[in-house]
């Protein structure tokens, strides 16, 4: 079915824009025992009752770090700012977003970002070598591509609204992890981590990324969608 066909009104009929069939899900699935940040509590999905066991319904409980799978960080995660994820303005995650493909196989550098003419208020998703495989199905990879400290400072200087990355942290493992979080979150840039950009080329998209609204929390799991502009 294509946009504009009778069952899919498309983005202009009646002025309505959402009912197209080109939304792509860029969230990774949450599954029991999946990769997490080392030391974080494991993901547990516990089936409390099950129709296949003769119960009246199937009912599951979820237990995990809020920084699991595709998720967002609030400023309170690494700063003394009290902004929890429930205080995030919807404008941070609903609107245009640009996917930038990063060539450097080690880190995202300020030099490489400079070539992309990033503008104030942009939502930037950074696709790296991490997206060459479905990292969410593998053990933790200490050598994921991360944001260099200089690149973090550059994004603050550019005054971006939101950044997204394709592994579990914006900062490097055993390196600048805390530093990069402090730089980005102190500037109240909203952070999406754990995206699946494996099927997403560079370019401009419309994005909706909605974290669940956990009261006064340092982060939350999120569902993220893109469609081409």
Residue from the set 2, 5, 51, 201 that interacts with a copy of itself by CB under 8 A: 51
Query: For residues 4 and 41, which CB has a smaller minimum distance to a copy of itself in the complex?
Result: 41
Contacts of 184 (CB under 8 A, 6+ apart): 147, 152, 155, 156, 163, 170, 191
In the complex, the smallest distance separating the C-beta of residue 103 from a copy of itself, rounded to whole angstroms, is: 28
| Interaction between residue 179 and a copy of itself (CB under 8 A) | no
d(CA 207, CA 187): 22
- Report whether 190 contacts 161 (CB < 8 A): yes
- Whether 38 contacts 67, CB under 8 Å: no
Taking residue 45's Cβ as centre, other Cβ atoms within 10 Å add up to 14
Site for a copy of itself contains 36 (CB under 8 A)? no
Structure tokens given for 218:
């340092």
**What is the three-class DSSP state of 172?**
coil
Per CB under 8 A, the list member of 53, 54, 90, 174 interacting with a copy of itself is 90
Of residues 35, 79, 100, 158, which one binds a copy of itself by CB under 8 A?
Answer: 79
* Contact flag: residue 15 with a copy of itself (CB under 8 A): yes
d(CA 67, CA 80): 18
Residue from the set 10, 86, 109, 150 that interacts with a copy of itself by CB under 8 A = 86
Task: Give CA–CA dist 101/197, Å, rounded.
Answer: 10
Residue from 19, 101, 141, 150 in contact with a copy of itself (CB under 8 A): 19
Of 27-35, 106-114, 126-134, 151-159, the window that binds a copy of itself (rule: CB under 8 A) is 27-35
Q: Are 131 and 166 in contact (CB under 8 A)?
A: yes
Residues that bind a copy of itself (CB under 8 A): 7, 11-12, 14-19, 21, 23, 25, 27-32, 40-41, 45, 48, 51-52, 56-67, 69-70, 76-80, 86, 90-91, 94-96, 121, 178, 181, 206-208, 210-219, 221-223, 225, 229
């Amino acid at each position: 079915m294509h946009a504009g066909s009778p069952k899919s009104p498309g983005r202009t009929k009646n002025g309505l824009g959402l009912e197209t069939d080109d939304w792509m899900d860029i969230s990774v699935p949450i599954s029991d025992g999946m990769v997490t940040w080392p030391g974080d509590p494991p993901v547990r999905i516990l089936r409390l009752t099950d129709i296949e066991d003769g119960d009246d319904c199937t009912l599951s409980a979820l237990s995990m770090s809020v920084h699991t799978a595709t998720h967002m960080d609030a400023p309170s995660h690494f700063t003394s700012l009290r902004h929890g994820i429930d205080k995030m303005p919807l404008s941070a995650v609903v609107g245009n977003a640009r996917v930038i493909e990063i060539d450097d196989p080690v880190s995202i550098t300020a030099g490489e970002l400079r070539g992309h003419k990033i503008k104030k208020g942009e939502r930037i998703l950074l696709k790296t070598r991490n997206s060459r495989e479905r990292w969410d199905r593998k053990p933790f990879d200490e050598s994921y591509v991360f944001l260099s400290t200089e690149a973090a400072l550059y994004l603050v200087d550019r005054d971006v609204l939101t950044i997204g990355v394709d592994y579990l942290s914006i900062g490097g493992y055993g390196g600048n992890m805390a530093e990069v979080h402090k730089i980005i979150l102190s500037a109240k840039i909203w952070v999406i981590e754990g995206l699946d950009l494996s099927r997403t080329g560079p370019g401009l998209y419309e994005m909706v990324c909605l974290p669940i609204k956990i009261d006064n929390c340092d982060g939350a799991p999120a569902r993220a969608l893109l469609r081409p502009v």
